[in-house]
Amino acid sequence: MGKYVLKRILTIIPMMLVLSFLVFWVMSLTGDPASTLAGSEASAEDIELLRESMGLNDPLIVRYFRYLSGVLHGDFGQGLYGNDVLDEFLVRIPYTIQLACASMFITVIIAIPLGIIAAVRQNKLTDTVLSSIAICGISIPGFWLGLMLIIVFAVQLRWLPTSGATDGFRSIILPAFCAGISNASLVMRMTRSSMIDNLNADFLRTARAKGVSERMVILKHALKNALIPIITIVGSQFSILMGGTVVVESVFAWPGVGSYLITSIRSNDYNMVTGFVLLTTVFIAGVLLVVDILYAFVDPRIKARYTTKVA
Which domains does the chain possess?
85-310 (1.10.3720.10)
pLDDT computed for residue 310 by the predictor: 46
Pick the closest to residue 111 from 238, 299, 240 (CA basis): 238
Predicted confidence pLDDT, tens digits, the chain (311 residues): 566 667 777 777 888 788 888 888 887 777 777 777 777 777 888 888 888 887 878 888 888 888 888 888 888 888 877 788 888 889 988 888 888 899 989 999 999 999 999 988 888 999 899 988 888 888 888 888 888 999 999 888 888 888 877 777 888 899 998 888 878 888 898 888 888 887 877 777 777 777 777 778 787 778 877 777 888 888 878 877 876 677 888 888 888 888 888 888 887 787 888 888 888 888 887 777 777 777 666 665 655 555 555 44
pLDDT computed for residue 129 by the predictor: 92
Distance CA 45, CA 106 (A): 55
pLDDT computed for residue 63 by the predictor: 86
- CB burial string 97-131: b at 16+ within 10 A, e below: ebbbebbbebbbebbbebbbbbbbeeeeeebeebb
pLDDT computed for residue 114 by the predictor: 92
User: Helical H runs in the chain?
Assistant: 2-29, 33-38, 44-54, 60-72, 85-120, 125-139, 142-149, 169-199, 202-209, 214-216, 223-242, 246-251, 257-266, 270-298, 300-310
pLDDT computed for residue 311 by the predictor: 44
pLDDT computed for residue 298 by the predictor: 65
Q: Is 118 helix (H, G, I), strand (E, B) or coil?
A: helix
DSSP 151: I
pLDDT computed for residue 105 by the predictor: 92
Q: How far from 176 is each of 73, 96, 101, 214, 241, CA to CA, in Å?
A: 36, 10, 9, 34, 10
pLDDT computed for residue 215 by the predictor: 79
Which residues are 84's β-sheet partners?
Answer: 78
DSSP 140: S
Using only the alpha carbons of the chain, give its radius of gyration. Answer: 24
pLDDT computed for residue 146 by the predictor: 86
* Amino acid in position 93: I
Distance CA 121, CA 29 (A): 54
